[in-house]
A and B are shown apart, each in its own frame.
Chain A
Amino acid sequence: MSVLRMGYMHVRVTDMAEAKQHYGNTVGLYQTLEQDGKVYFKGWDEWDHHSVVLEEGGVGMVKCGFKVLDPGELDGIEARATRFGAVVERMSAGENAEVSDGIRVILPSTHVIEFYHSMTPVGLEVGTHNPDAFPRHLVGIGAPRLDHALIVAEDVGEIERFFKEVVDFYPTERLATSLDDDAHLIATWMTIGNTNHDIAILEGPNGKIHHFAFEMRGWDDILHAGDIFAMDDTPVDIGPTRHGITRGTTIYFFDPSGNRNETFAGGYQCFRDRPVVTWTPEAVGKGIFYHARELNERFMTVMT
Chain B
Amino acid sequence: MPTVTVQPDGIEVPLEDGETILAGLFRNGYAYRIGCRRGGCAICKVDLLSGEVEYDHTVAENVLTAEERATGTCLSCRAVPVGDVTIALREEHLRRVSSLLAFYAMAAQGKGTPAASSAPNSG
Contact = CB atoms under 8 A, between A and B. Distances in A.
Interface of A: 12, 14-15, 18, 57-60, 235, 237, 254-260, 297-298, 301-304
B96 interface: no
Report whether over half of chain A's contact residues are helix, strand or loop; otherwise say mixed. loop
A297 B40 CA distance: 16
A21 B40 CA distance: 17
A260 B38 CA distance: 10
A237 B33 CA distance: 13
Interface in B2-53: 33-41, 43
B40 A259 contact: yes
B59 A14 contact: yes
B60 interface: yes
Contacts of A58: 60-63
A140 to B, nearest CB: 17
A235 B61 CA distance: 22
Given A298-B43, A301-B43, A258 B38 contact: yes
A12 B60 contact: yes
Given A14-B58, A14-B60, A257-B60, A59 B40 contact: yes
B39 A235 contact: no
B59 A258 contact: no
A258 B41 contact: yes
B111 interface: no
B37 A254 contact: yes
Nearest to A236: B37
A59 B63 contact: yes
8 contacts: A12-B60, A14-B60, A235-B38, A237-B35, A254-B36, A254-B38, A297-B33, A298-B43
B35 A15 contact: no
B8 to A, nearest CB: 19
A238 B61 CA distance: 27
Given A12-B60, A14-B58, A15-B58, A303 B39 contact: no
Contacts of A303: 41
A277 B62 CA distance: 36
A260 B36 contact: yes
A200 B43 CA distance: 22
A303 to B, nearest CB: 6
5 closest A-B pairs by beta carbon, nearest first, are A258-B40, A302-B35, A258-B36, A258-B38, A254-B36
Contacts of B57: 14-15, 18
A186 to B, nearest CB: 20
Interface string B52-82: 0000011111110000000000000000000
Contacts of A14: 39-40, 57-60
Contact of B62 (A15, A59, A255): A59
Contacts of B59: 14
A248 B87 CA distance: 40
A14 B61 CA distance: 10
A60 B43 contact: no
Contacts of A59: 39-40, 60, 62-63
